[in-house]
Amino acid sequence: MKSYRGKPSIYNAPAGSKKAELEVEDLSLHFGGVTALRDIDLSVATGELVAVIGPNGAGKTSLLNTVTGYYRAGKGRIRFNGEDITRAPTHDITRKGIGRTFQNIELFPGMTVLSNMMLARHLFCKYRLGSAGLFLPAVRQEEVRHRRIVEEIIDFLEMQAIRNTPVGSLPYGQRKRVELGRALALEPNLLILDEPFAGMNMEEKEDMVRFLVELNEAWNQTMILVEHDMSVVMSISKRVVVLNFGEKLAEGSPDEVQNDPEVIKAYLGEAEAI
């Protein structure tokens, strides 16, 4: 397995600054008369890679959208590093250290890979509009710093050849990689990935697995992964949470979950190994 030898400077911060303790308690979400989530409990500790799986319509993306502020829970609490973020707006949750990718790619197709990733650095810009318009020396120095961080992430994700390519002209699998890069440019303590392998060929999946494993194991990046590819989930996750019809069906190690009769029934309708 090829390994990236450099380390983006966002991972050189003290270990304590990457704290990512998520607690979801008794979470419920309703859309009119439809229950999307019912009494969900979920915890994620710093450094964990937790997978959330389940059949289509199980509530996986609804859970991610509620944690990241796109949906408002009808009941329950969400705490991140001890702070209640249940009613926090999306931009505030991002500033607190939760970054994500999306099931349906949310990039700007007319902009280059580099420009899409630079947009994520707006959270860290300290200059004002007037200074930016005049492009004062302090602004130029800060832009150089943001550019360096983005270039390090481009190198890590092996996107040097497409860095100046408009995103709209890239294959779907490469766009998924760009979206991961933009999420990393947010310097997230907790990285949430919604089906990052969807639409990828085998080679692209292998590359993505390599990136995620290195982020988690070598650099202690905390992650929540929603994915349908069970071979990937069972090979890289430390803990697996299973949802079905908006309820938590099971939780445990990959071995425990894939041999759980209720999980097998939810996926296959019969007691065979997944």
For 205-253, the pLDDT digits (tens) are 999 999 999 999 999 999 999 998 989 999 999 999 999 999 999 999 9
What per-residue confidence (pLDDT) applies to 4?
46
Dihedral Cα 162, 166, 171, 174, nearest 10 deg: 50
Q: Are the C-beta atoms of 199 and 145 separated by less than 8 Å? A: no
Residue type, 201: N
Report DSSP letters for 41-60, one per residue.
EEEE-TT-EEEEE-STTSSH
Residue type, 77: R
Task: Please say whether the dihedral angle defined by the alpha carbons of residues 107, 66, 264 and 253, taken in this order, is positive or negative.
Answer: positive
pLDDT tens digits, residue range 97-111?
A: 999 999 888 899 999
Q: What are phi and psi of 270, to 5 degrees?
A: -155, 160
- Place 118 in a pLDDT band, splitting at 50, 70 and 90: very high
pLDDT tens digits, residue range 165-183?
A: 999 999 999 999 999 999 9
DSSP 166: B
Q: How many residues does the chain have?
A: 274
- Place 124 in a pLDDT band, splitting at 50, 70 and 90: confident
Kindly list the distances between the CA atom of residue 178 and the CA atoms of 186, 202, 256, in Å, as whole numbers in the listed order: 13, 18, 34
Question: What domains are there in the chain, each with its CATH number?
Answer: 20-108+187-268 (3.40.50.300)
Angle at 146 between CA 143 and CA 149, to 5 degrees: 150
pLDDT tens digits, residue range 57-95?
A: 899 999 999 999 999 999 999 999 999 999 999 999 999
